[in-house]
Each structure stands twice: as C-alpha cells, then as structure tokens.
Structure 1
C-alpha cells in the first residue's frame, strides 16, 4: 500500500503567502511516501525551494517522493492531509474569496493541484484528512518501536483548536486522555516571552541556547505569575501576561545587544517550561502506569527539556520523534493511515532519517564539478574519510555532503559542516566563516556510539541519541578537552553515530579518532544564516563558494576554492528565482522630491528583499539563464568601470540567495570552439 502524507499550504512558488481569517499561516511544508508501513522518501519543501520554514505547497517535495519509485498520483492508494476536513475546507473557502478561487472545498482544490503535477485525475475518495495532533502522535508512537506508550504532543496551536494531546497508545489504538487547548499553548507561551528578547516564531531554539547563561531565580517569581499548576496534570496559562515584562525589564529589539537581564529571562522561561511539562508527565505516568514515553510537536524540539526528562528517571524509555515540528506530521499522517489499513504489520522502528535527495555517483559529480572548474579545483581521492579526517585534525573546516539528505531540522552527517571538537575557539571560527549567528549558541558533537559513555553522563532512562534530540551532561574531566562542543553549563546536544546506519560518516569519525584519540567531531548544519540546510550538490557548491569554509568533501571528491576575480564572475549566468519578483517603485520624499527605487524580493513577505542598483535590476530583467553577466552588461551598454560594482552586487545577492549564479554553458561552449 502506497500512502503519501502532505503538510503545508497550497500557495504556489510565484504566489504571495497569505494570512487567513482564522489567523494561521502554514509553515514547514513537507511530503512523505510510505510503502507498506516503511518510509521510502521524506523531504521538507524548504530544502528544495530554499526558503526556511516555507509554508508553500509541497510541490517539489511531492515530485521527489514520487520519483523515488517512478510513480504518478495514479499509483498512490491514499493521500493524507494532516488537518481535519472541516478545517481544510476553511482554508479552501478563504482562498475562494482571497484569490477568487474556483474551489469550494479542500478536495476540489487538491484534485486540481494533483492534476497539475502529473495529469492524474485522482479519486477524491482516496484523499484522507487526519487530525493535526493525531498526526504528531502517530509520528512519535509508530516510530518509537514501543508496543505501548504514553504519547504526548505539545506545540504552538492547531486549526482544530488544540495545542497538545495526552494519549495512551497501544499498538495502533490511540486513546485520547486529555487535550491542551490553544489558550493554554506552551508553544505560544514560549513565543510570547521570547518576543521580549527580540526573537520570534522559529527562534525558540536560540533562546533555549541562551538560557544556560542566565540565572532563573532573577525572574522566577515573575514567570510563576504566568501559569498555575492544577491537580491531575492540568495547568492554566495567562498568555497576555508577557506584556507585563515591559515593567520589569528592558525589552530587546531584534538584533540589539543581549544583556545579562535578557539571559536571566531566558533562563526563567526555560525553567518554567520544564516545570510545566514535568508536571504533566509526572501525573499521566502515574495515572496510566506507562513506563515508556513518546513525544512530538514543536515543543518536543526543546532538547534541554528532553534531557531533564531523561535524567528525572520518570520513564524507563523515552522516544522523541526527530522531525517533531509540523513537517513531521506528513510522516505521522502517512504512518497512521498505513497502519490503519494494515494493522497486522507491526510499525517499523526508526533507524535513521536519510530519506531525502540523493547525490549523484562519482561520475556525475565529476561532470558537475567540471562545469565549476573556473571557481574550484577538485580531485577524486581513494580514501575521502582518511584525508578529510587528517585535514580536520590540522584545523580545517569542511563541508561534508554524502548520500541521501536527512529529513527534519538537523544535519546528521550527510549535509554537515565539520570541525575539530577540541579547540574552544572553533565556535567563533565557524560563526565568522559561515553561520554569522549569535556567538553564544552551541555546536553539537557527533560521537561514535561505542564511546558515548566515556564522554557523557548517561541517564538510566534509555533513549535513541542519534538525532540531536537530548542534551546530556558532559563528564567533568572531558569538558575542557571538548571545548568547541561543550556548552557554558557543561552540557552537549549529542548525536551518536552508528556504523550500521551511516558507515561513511562513522569511518570519518573513526579516522579522526585514530589520529587524535577523540571519537568525536563538531557537527553543524551545512548552510549560511539565510538559507535552509543544503540539499543538492549544487546547493553545496554555492554555499561553499559564498562562505569561508576551507574544503568541501562531496562523494569521493576533495574540492577547494580557486582565487577568482571580476572577470571570472562576468562569465556567470544570472537567473531570477521562480519565487521572486522585481519591483520598481516611484515615491516622494518629505520635501516632495520624486525618487525611484528598485528591489528584488521573494514571495515570502518582507524578510527576503533587497534594494538594488538600476543596472542590476535591468540585468535581472533581461536575464535568460544563458547569457553571462558580461554579455548582458555589454548588451545594455554598461561601462567597464561599472562592471566591477555590478559583480559585487550580484555576489551579495547570491550570498543572500536572492538570485542564482551558474557557470554560463553558452560562454563555455564558445570558449571550447575558439
């Protein structure tokens, strides 16, 4: 049985995101293909359309999933939408008025969408709608491998009106014990406070990383006024309370300096979240007698909280679904329906998350790299793991791209930036090189599973540590040794690496161990601060060229940068992104002076835009993906002097992922003929 799970909105790449009457903006779109209960392919749309947390229709994700088995929609037995039908119909009807849509309900809209993808007239009876939090719960329980578990989902909010479910799960049967309403949303509570710290939705993990720098006692009494713990695991929040913080602290504007006061608020907030969650879990563990816990929902990404759950010893085993946010609902929805129709088959325990795009074989990589040879030098090596480990031990920082991409928010050794975990200064080195992020945020250690207990204090509670889901305490005598991957409070968000699930990454770390005696590498996601984790080989090359990473290891190829100048970039062909637009605006200043501005922007709100010179605007307007920057500049009559400024602007736009630059095949062909 083939089941395709989908989550996200229905906006196409060239359309602006809209806010619906019910106030929810779709995010974290994804598609997951499940065959007879086994995951065949899973990918978030952001990896493919290159916009973080995109809520656009999972168009590219669907195509990738179908291509994995060379399918069309006609082959899919069930398509699962991860919201109840009545809420999905609200989406379609709101769109009816928003864009004068022809569709009166969700099924009509979806059938038209599927037809546009591959011409299939899909059977509407095979479209299934599943409750948002049931999808979260299914993603956790079915992937845990547990026969029975207390399954808890906690997130921001859902269209159905709930921000969490407490479920007693046994086999394929889910008994809902309690629900958390949107009014008592722990996700919304966290966001309401982090706004005081200059952060917003999707920045929650940043504040979690800031919390260990603060003293929770300074704002503990204040935070306790925001919630009340009630009998039987219940609680009540006052979400409006966060505005009271204005009278007791100095709110931080986005990008402003972080003071000790802000760190103290973060610490108190993290403590409050952990207190409430432990209150819930303690009661329902005692009430149900469950010894195993499964968790999902966006709040389950709080790995510091998850670590506290482990060290509490409340459960014998804990499983946190690694793609716990809304993208994981595509996984949960597909598994739920697959198991509903094939209940005789035991759910398959999660072993890895390498379900995304594949890189090409070495022959294909060689051809691709040859097209970029004006910018990179490359050679195929016999033992890429040995040479990479040697250079990392000597101080180099690597982009490491292998096999299939990971599903979920973490790079787990196939789309990673890697470095020596020992020198504490490596945290600053990588931030300056590529991340351009807050300096306080920690990096994660990837440790061979055979050695994890030698470096970290292992709780008595069992849990899979392969997915960076849990913060553990680093053994005191190892903290100074692991300066680059140990946080200020002596903890680390660990990833264990198994030879059975990622042999190449395991061998790389083992080569490093043989050289240094340390079976650990610093691992962070391969991307800069404006883009999602790289997906394709070309994504990796672009990120490599627009950051200061020393080397790129892709397949069995060692890649390094060449020294290039303006003339080299003039041989690049610029292209507009399909989800972008050029805007020319005529306005007036306060004294009535008329002025004209030009900008390029993506269809994702005002976050992704940049004012550009008129010359750059005209080049983009005339670009066709074939002519080079030099050819376009010449066609438009720009001077030689202006070409350098044009190139500098295009490099900046390229680094911001607002345009594409690729080696011009036209120029290469002309050069070859001459």
Structure 2
C-alpha cells in the first residue's frame, strides 16, 4: 500500500511517500523553496517525491494528514481552554515579590566572557514602560491571570483561523496535484508516536511525545508493541512544555520554533538554582501528569528576562523542562515496567533533555525519531496507515531526500566556472586537507531528512581547535552558544562517550548528548560544550561508506576518530539540497574546499 503523508502546513511542511511501512522518500518544502521552515502546501517537495520514486498521484492509495478537521480541533482546544479558566482560578501561587528580591541577591558577579553576549550577566534591557508592563502582566496576580486568559483566548481564535486556512490550502494543493480522493486525518500525537515507534525496530516501547499543541494535547504516553500503539495518558493543552520553552526563547530575544537550541546552549553558562524553584512553583505536578499555571502568559518569562541575566533565565527553564519531563516519564516507566523509550515531538529536539530521559532509573534503551518536530508527522501518519503489521528493522539512516547525478553536479560547477579534479582516493585526500586545517564541505548521495545534517550535506573540520566555534560561525554568519557537533566512528563510541550503551542508534542521528570521556575532551575540545557534553553522530560504514572512509583516513593521520560536522548552509537558510545550492553556499561561506560527488573543488579565493 502506497501512502502519501503530508505534515502540518503551518510550518516546515514536508512530504513523505511510504510503501508498506518503508519510507521511499521524505523531504521538507524548505529545501526546495530555500525559505527556512516553509509553510503552505509543499508543491515542490511533492513534485520531487513523485519524480524520485517514479510514481504518479494515480499510484497513491491514500493521503494522510496529521491533524483532525478544523471543527474537531476547535472542539478539543475550546474544552481545554474552559478547563484552564477553572485551574487558574483555583491555583494559589506563592507571593512573587519576596521570591524575586531574594533571587536577585544570589546572582553572582561574572566576568568570564561568553561569545555572543555583550556581558556574561547581560539582561534583556527594556525601557521603563515595557518593564512596568511586564512586572504587572507577568507578576501581579489579577493582571497576570487576565493576561494569561486573554492570551489563551487569542490563541484559540488564531488557531481556528489557522486550521481553516491550511485546510483550504491542503484541499486546493491536492486537487492541483491531481488527488480527488478523501484525506485520511489522524490524531496529531498518534502520528508522533507512530514515527518514533515504527522506525525504532523495538518490539515493545513506551512512546513519549512532547510538543506545543496537537489535537487537544501537548504530549502523550503510549504503550506500543508489535506495530500497535495504545495511549495511556494525554497531557492536555495548554499544559505544554513546548509553549513554556517557546516563551523563554522569544523572551531572550530569539525566534521561537527556530532558535530553541540556542537556549539549550546558553543554559549551561547559568545557574539554574537562582530561578528554578520559582518557576517550578508554578507547575502543579501529580504522579504521571502536570499542569502549568498561566501557561499562555508570555509576560512572566519577559518579566524574568528583564530582571535577571539571560544565562540564568535560560538555565532555569532548561532545568524545569528536564525536571518536569523526567518526573512525568519516570512515573510511566515505573508503572509499566517498560525499559525502552521512543521519543518524538518538537520538545524532544532538546538534546540535553533526551540525555536526562535516558538517565532515568530503569530506562535501558532510547530512540529519538530523527525528524522529531511537526515536519516528521507526515511520515508518522503514512507509516501508521501503511504498516503491514509486526516488527520491522529500525531505519538505518535519514538519507531520504533527493540525489543528484554526476552530470547535474558537473553542470553546477561549470556554470560557476570552477575548476575541479576527480581524485582517485577522495576520502584520503579530504582527510589530509582537514588534518592540515582546511574547511571542507561535503555534498554527496541522498539529502538528509529532518533538522540535522548527517554527512551528505555537511561542513567538516578537525575538532582540535576550540576557536573554530567563533571564526567558522562568523564565516557562515551564525551566532551559536553550543559548540559544533562531532561525527565519531561507531567503533570508537565508548572511547569518546560515557553511558552510550542502549542509545547508540539514537546517536546515529545526533539526537542526544552524552558526557564526554577525558580522551574526547582532550583530543576534540571544539566539539565539547562547557558542561562536558557533546551531541555526536555515530557513523557506520554500511550506512555511509564515503563519509565513514573520510573519518577512518583522518584517524590514521591524527589518532582521533572524530571530526566536526556542521550543517552545510548559510545563516538562516535551509540546509543545501541541490548541487547549485551547494556551490552557492560554498562560495558565499568562503569554505576552503568542496567535496561534491566524486569531485574536489578548491575555493577560487580561499579565506586564508
């Protein structure tokens, strides 16, 4: 059975074609339109999917979409928002005034510079009017209750409008593509649970989903076995850890749904104990559940950000996210006795949270779906509806996008007048360049599906030099608080990372952090964060021989089995897709070399 899955159209719209539980093709519209997190009907990705698989819309048996109709979604969240009114009314928050005053006395003087911040204790400087409004709408009970309820009401109105708008867009886009049949709609969190479980290869697992909003929920726990998924619990919206984290992202001056990773990086520099308990006191935790007071009130995090260092605000939110999520999951691990966790949903893009989940007593195995955000829901829906039953081996890679021929690559190089060679031993040549301090971009094979570059659309450099985090990000126009992530030979995993057993497969997709060994800290300081962790990609030869061989050749020269792998794109652009994209980003980013297909290109005007 051939199923076309289309992810939610409100952001990062993505197409997947799945046949009998096998993903034939999956790619986001952003890679073709070149607009990050492209919304709307994914026309270009659909065209590419059909061309790549050699199918037409007549060959498709079913089209799936991972949201219910707008009327059913509205019914669910309207009831939730009514329930929220009663909760806010009954909740007795602690008096914030003395808590804040006391917390301010515990902020230390800091002078160790943090790259990307004007001062280590920088706060969000706001004018008097803004600050006054934040302290009223964020911290004074009557005003903050009203602000929270108003925000929920506005959210509901905007969500209804959004669901109606995208529903029309979906219908029109499918009609234009030649699909006249019905669309199979499904519960949003079930599509998240399906992608993580059905791609994990596990016979039995606890599926945990955590995100902003989907079909009345902000998260769920399900028991899954033999291809069947049975929900045990749903976290009712607006009790959303996704919304909580979006709030702090925007309150610290970053873009929600895009820059949450910067908050994870910043958090390691701060002290979570300064604000952690204040934040926790606003979350009612009960065994296997929780509720967040004034969940939609963004002014509370803005109030904190206007008074406290950004790093301490980030640290508190990261701490609370980890604490609340692990308490929630721990209960269900103990209740079911299941030692295997599979994760999906936008919140599980938080690699530090995933490490904490793996560290829960009783958890022995973990898998995180590589495209954990809403962009992955199309595959979840299509997998669920095409699943033939039983257990399949886990997905071995995320290389599910388009591939380009040698002729297409040559054409792109010739169009820019670039000279290139075809080395007999490309991997050895690339390893030698990297060992000698050159930055090499790699473009080869099928494009990665999901937010991470995993070697086929990557920029590579050695990890011996911590300063690379500044100068290479500058060349690429990026500001990051996390170091670059390493790619490590699968065989060297225990030499480089502690406590990796049971999480090896998750680590093939760069979805979880680990504490680094002394060897890793000493030999690859550029890939180790200030807290001693790294977010590796483990690479096996059978998954990607060309990429793996570069690493083995580099290890022969250096004795080090890891390199830096960062995504091949310019700042605020999606990861490159076509040879033309690759050539343009290579020239713009002033990278030293481009290994593209079988060819090696030296930059005509190298940066050094």
Residue 57 of structure 1 and its aligned partner are, at CA, apart by: 0.9
Asked whether the equivalents of residues 383 and 556 of structure 1 are also in contact (C-alpha less than 8 Å), the reply is: no
**Alignment match, 1:30:** 14
Distance 1:367 1:249, change over 3 A: closer
Distance 1:534 1:499, change over 3 A: same
- Matched residues in 1 for 2:311 and 2:36: separation? 26
Distance 1:3 1:439, change over 3 A: closer
Residue 365 of structure 1 and its aligned partner are, at CA, apart by: 2.2
**Alignment match, 2:529:** 487
- Matched residues in 2 for 1:191 and 1:236: separation? 14
Matched residue of 2:573: which SS?
coil
**Alignment match, 1:420:** 462
Please say if 1:148 is aligned against 2:204: yes
Asked whether the equivalents of residues 311 and 460 of structure 1 are also in contact (C-alpha less than 8 Å), the reply is: no
Distance 1:232 1:426, change over 3 A: closer
- Matched residues in 2 for 1:228 and 1:73: separation? 49
Distance 1:544 1:456, change over 3 A: same
- Matched residues in 2 for 1:115 and 1:222: separation? 52
**Alignment match, 1:136:** 192
Q: TM-score, normalised by structure 1?
A: 0.74
Q: What are structure 1's unaligned runs of at least 5 residues?
A: 10-25, 252-259, 565-674
Distance 1:266 1:515, change over 3 A: same
Q: TM-score, normalised by structure 2?
A: 0.81
In the TM superposition, 1:587-626 aligns within 5 A as none
Residue 271 of structure 1 and its aligned partner are, at CA, apart by: 0.7
Residue 462 of structure 1 and its aligned partner are, at CA, apart by: 3.8
Q: Deviation digits for residues 7-63 of structure 1, max 9, x if unmatched? A: 133xxxxxxxxxxxxxxxx01100111112111100011111111111121111111
Q: Deviation digits for residues 462-497 of structure 1, max 9, x if unmatched? A: 441101111001113431321110111111001100
**Alignment match, 2:4:** 4
**Alignment match, 1:43:** 27
- Matched residues in 2 for 1:549 and 1:453: separation? 32
- Matched residues in 1 for 2:605 and 2:304: separation? 53
**Alignment match, 1:571:** none
Residue 243 of structure 1 and its aligned partner are, at CA, apart by: 2.5
- Matched residues in 2 for 1:237 and 1:38: separation? 42
**Alignment match, 2:336:** 288
Asked whether the equivalents of residues 551 and 560 of structure 1 are also in contact (C-alpha less than 8 Å), the reply is: yes
**Alignment match, 1:122:** 180
Q: Which one of the candidate residues 392, 407, 410 is aligned to 2:449?
A: 407
- Matched residues in 1 for 2:310 and 2:412: separation? 47
Asked whether the equivalents of residues 227 and 238 of structure 1 are also in contact (C-alpha less than 8 Å), the reply is: no
In the TM superposition, 1:34-183 aligns within 5 A as 34-87=18-71, 106=167, 110=170, 112-117=172-177, 120=178, 122-124=180-182, 127-158=183-214, 160-183=215-238
Distance 1:309 1:245, change over 3 A: closer
Q: Quick check: which one's strand share is greater?
A: 1
- Matched residues in 1 for 2:548 and 2:448: separation? 16
Q: Deviation digits for residues 544-581 of structure 1, max 9, x if unmatched? A: 111121111101111123359xxxxxxxxxxxxxxxxx
**Alignment match, 2:88:** none
**Alignment match, 1:519:** 561
Asked whether the equivalents of residues 427 and 442 of structure 1 are also in contact (C-alpha less than 8 Å), the reply is: yes
Residue 241 of structure 1 and its aligned partner are, at CA, apart by: 5.9
Residue 234 of structure 1 and its aligned partner are, at CA, apart by: 3.4
Distance 1:244 1:6, change over 3 A: closer
**Alignment match, 1:641:** none
Residue 530 of structure 1 and its aligned partner are, at CA, apart by: 2.2
- Matched residues in 1 for 2:260 and 2:165: separation? 37
- Matched residues in 1 for 2:431 and 2:223: separation? 46
Asked whether the equivalents of residues 37 and 348 of structure 1 are also in contact (C-alpha less than 8 Å), the reply is: no
Q: Which one of the candidate residues 180, 200, 208 is aligned to 2:264?
A: 208
Which of structures 1 and 2 has the larger relative contact order (alpha carbons within 8 angstroms, sep 6+)?
Answer: 2
Asked whether the equivalents of residues 211 and 240 of structure 2 are also in contact (C-alpha less than 8 Å), the reply is: yes
Asked whether the equivalents of residues 239 and 290 of structure 2 are also in contact (C-alpha less than 8 Å), the reply is: no
Matched residue of 2:402: which SS?
strand
Residue 240 of structure 1 and its aligned partner are, at CA, apart by: 5.1
Distance 1:170 1:560, change over 3 A: same
- Matched residues in 2 for 1:237 and 1:174: separation? 31
Q: Which one of the candidate residues 373, 395, 398 is aligned to 1:353?
A: 398
Q: What are structure 2's unaligned runs of at least 5 residues?
A: 76-156
Matched residue of 1:308: which SS?
helix
- Matched residues in 2 for 1:478 and 1:411: separation? 21
- Matched residues in 1 for 2:508 and 2:243: separation? 28
Which of the pair has more CA radius of gyration? 1
Residue 71 of structure 1 and its aligned partner are, at CA, apart by: 1.3
Residue 248 of structure 1 and its aligned partner are, at CA, apart by: 4.8
**Alignment match, 2:278:** 222
Asked whether the equivalents of residues 210 and 345 of structure 2 are also in contact (C-alpha less than 8 Å), the reply is: yes
* RMSD between aligned residues: 2.5
In the TM superposition, 1:471-620 aligns within 5 A as 471-563=513-605
Which shows bigger deviation, 178-187 or 80-89? 80-89
Distance 1:233 1:104, change over 3 A: closer
- Matched residues in 1 for 2:384 and 2:319: separation? 34
Matched residue of 2:510: which SS?
coil
- Count of aligned pairs between the two proteins: 521
Asked whether the equivalents of residues 161 and 181 of structure 1 are also in contact (C-alpha less than 8 Å), the reply is: yes
Distance 1:269 1:104, change over 3 A: closer
Q: Which one of the candidate residues 251, 265, 272 is aligned to 2:313?
A: 265
- Matched residues in 2 for 1:447 and 1:161: separation? 40
Please say if 1:443 is aligned against 2:488: no
**Alignment match, 1:243:** 299
- Matched residues in 1 for 2:40 and 2:181: separation? 24
Distance 1:80 1:559, change over 3 A: same
Residue 105 of structure 1 and its aligned partner are, at CA, apart by: 11
Q: Which one of the candidate residues 177, 181, 192 is aligned to 2:247?
A: 192
Residue 321 of structure 1 and its aligned partner are, at CA, apart by: 0.7
